[in-house]
Each structure stands twice: as C-alpha cells, then as structure tokens.
Structure 1
Amino acid sequence: MKRVLIPLAEGFEEVEAVTLIDVLRRAGVTVVTAGLKAGAVSGSHGVAVVPDTTLEAVVDDRFDMVVLPGGLPGTTHLDEDPRVHALLKRLEGEGGYVAAICAAPAVLANAGLLSGKRATSYPTCMPEALLPTMTYLEEPVVRDGRVITSRGPGTAMDFALTLSELLTSKANRDEVEADLMRP
C-alpha cells in the first residue's frame, strides 16, 4: 500500500488538507499527517486538526509521496523548517513524488525542486525571483514527472483525485470520484 506524508503547520489551508487526507484515504492510500510540533494544529480559518504524529517522529520514514497543503502562514512555517526541505529533496532523489497546492509550491521552488519544471500555484505566491527558472502555468493541476502542483482551495478535489490516480490506478480514481457524486 502506498504511503503519503502530509505535514501540517499552523495556518494551513483547511479545505486543501482535509480534502487531500479524505480523498487519498478513500482511495486506499495510507496517509500520515504530521505536525511540525506535538499537539493540535490550527488552520488559517481556525479549524484545529490533530495530526497522527509529529514530523520529527516520521522524518526518516519511507513515503511514496509528500504533499504540502497551502495556506498562510502555514506555507511560511513549512518553508522555514529545514526538515521539510531535506525530506522533499530526499524523496525526490529516491524517485518519490512531491506535490504542493496553493501557496505551498513556493516551498518546492525554494527547495530547488521546480527548476526546469512546469508548475502552478496560487497566483501571488510563487517567488518572482524563481519564476524564470520554471515554466509557470495557470492550470488547475500541473504534473511534470514526479512533481505535481495545484492552484488553491477550489482545485483541491481535482488535485487529490489526480494524486490518488498516480498512487493507485485510473479505475480506483474513477470509483472514488463516482462515490463522491462529482458531476
């Protein structure tokens, strides 16, 4: 069974994180949520989530994918944590998937993982100095090899379903999507 890590930092975007967790678990993926520190983590709109564990406890574990939810200041906290950058670089080097939505693709960019790649993000959240190093697209979900990015809360469902298909199969994604009553 595939394993995904979703780090949660104070100020994460709730719609993105919960949609990712829920859809991936419905698809049969093992999702581990990890707070940057112990205890409940409050999202950018005051919704508290109790992570499964701490990042410290799983930072050296094997995952098939790391997915970063956006939100502010959650993205800033993820970007400022050297464990997050090290984990992303290690996973990318091992051939795993790295994914981010909304403001969080900036973390991938700052870790050097979007250089030469096609990517997207929330319109105002990609560091301008890094834009010339990538091909920036205004599409809901962009996949370039093992790097997947998405725009924001409104694209969270498409993003989660894309990730579920990458980790499982098109048939499984279609089944999950049908159960969600998507048009």
Structure 2
Amino acid sequence: MKKVLMLLANGIEPMEMAAFTDILGWADLLGEENIQLVMAGLRPEITSTFDVIIRPNKLLADLDLDEFDALALPGGFEPSGFYDEALSQPYLDTIKHFINAEKLVASVCVSSLSLGRAGVLNNRKATIYHQVGGRRKQQLVETGAEFIDRPIVRDGNVITSSGPGTASEVAFLLVEMLTSKSNALTIRKVMRFPTPDAQWYHTAQVE
C-alpha cells in the first residue's frame, strides 16, 4: 500500500484538493495497489477559497512523516490567506522532509512557490500560475528555479503545474509514479477522463 499526505493550507483552492481526493480515492478502490490519502492541516478547520469549510483528517503536528510515500500540495488564493500558512515554517519544513527523503512531491498552481521558498527548486525545472506581468513567475525564479512555461513540469521526483485545470493531470501522474502507467490509464478510463492530446502538454500560458 502507498500512503500520500495532502497538506492543506488555509485558503486552498477546493478544485485542486478534490482532484487528489477523487483520483487517488478511485485508485485506492479500483487500482492495482491501495493508495491511502491522509488530509492534514495546521489547524483543525480551514476556510478554503470561496468559503468552503474543510476539516482535515489530521493535524500536521500529530503525524509521522516517515510513514508517507508522497506529498500532495493543492494551491490557493492570496486574498484568502493561502500564503500565511503555505509559506509558514511548518509547511516548508514538511516539504524539505519529503525532498530530503527523496520521496514524491506533487504541487498544483501556486503551491510551487512553497517548494521554491523551501529551497528545493534550486536548479530544478518548474512552473507556476503565470499571467501577463509575470509576478508569480518572477517569485519562482527568485528561488533558483528554472521556469518552464508548460501546464505540467516534472523534474525528478518533483511535479509542478500551472493552475486548477492541471490538478487532475497532476493527480494521475502521481498515481503513475506511485504505481504504474497502466494503472493510471485504467483509473483514467473508469473515471471517464479523456487523455489530453500531445500538444496540450506544450501549451504556454501566455501567448
């Protein structure tokens, strides 16, 4: 059995969280190997973007991180207070723990900035939510990352992505890396998720 920690910061994007809960949940039920997803927060109750109230399964402080095979990081919105926790020391220390243990880390949208601030993207290829003006891109580059303008970027055991619309593909890639490509394809099929065409994986965010 594989075990995945999804770390939830106050102000997370519900759609990005749901991609992990649903796809890993289906993989646990119908896949070739069980995948247990544990949702943990820095507090017992968080308010997500758009005011959805979420109660994590566990508090981060109560967990033994060595029990987990991978870390999943949904992103969130700055006006909802996402960075207050997503850039906090406990959050960053968790990222460092997984990277130092050479385990998988999968991030969606702006949570790649947390990876950068944790100091784990230096000389790694990565992406982030990018708009005209490039504020988030610049913040990521300042952490030492090499920005790649693609929907999903994988550099070794680290996955970064560019927005909510990539969350399901990040989750499928995580299933593939934890188990097998054939297993991820099977779960995609039973969930009725189409496979993006080859061009999608090379689409720039700002034309």
User: TM-score with structure 2 length normalisation?
Assistant: 0.81
**Structure 1: runs of 5 or more not aligned:** none
Distance 1:78 1:147 in 2: 21
CA contact (8 A) 2:110 2:129 kept: yes
1:86 aligns with 2:97: no
1:110 — aligned with what? Answer: 117
Equivalent runs, 1:94-173 vs 2, <5 Å: 94-123=101-130, 124=134, 126=136, 128=138, 130-131=140-141, 133-173=144-184
Paired with 1:87 and 1:12, the residues of 2 have a C-alpha distance of 17
Contact 2:128 2:137 in 1 (8 A): no
Q: State the AA in 2 paired with 1:76.
A: Y
Which among 31, 42, 60 is matched to residue 47 of structure 2?
42
Tell me how far 1:129 sits from its aligned partner: 5.1
1:9-47 Cα offsets, whole Å, 9 max, x none, are 221000000111211121121110011112x32210112
**Aligned equivalents of 2:135 and 2:157: distance in 1?**
21
Distance 1:41 1:121, change over 3 A: same
Question: Is 1:53 matched up with 2:63?
Answer: no
- Summarize the Cα distance change of 1:178–1:130 in structure 2 as closer, same or farther, 3 Å threshold: closer
| Structure of higher CA gyration radius | 2
TM-score by length of 1: 0.91
Inter-CA distance 69–125: structure 2 relative to 1 (3 Å threshold): farther
Q: Cα distance, 1:80 vs. partner?
A: 3.2
Residue identity opposite 1:54 in structure 2: L
Residues paired across the two proteins, number: 182
Alignment root-mean-square deviation, CA: 1.7
Alignment pair present for 1:72 and 2:72: no
> How many angstroms apart in 2 are the aligned matches of 1:155 and 1:67?
13
| 5+ long unaligned stretches in structure 2 | 29-34, 195-207
CA shift in 2, pair 1:99/1:176, >3 Å: same
- Distance in 1 (CA, whole Å) between partners of 2:25 and 2:137 is 32
Residue 4 (str. 1) matches residue 4 (str. 2): yes
Q: Percent identity?
A: 34
Q: Does 1:174 align with 2:185?
A: yes
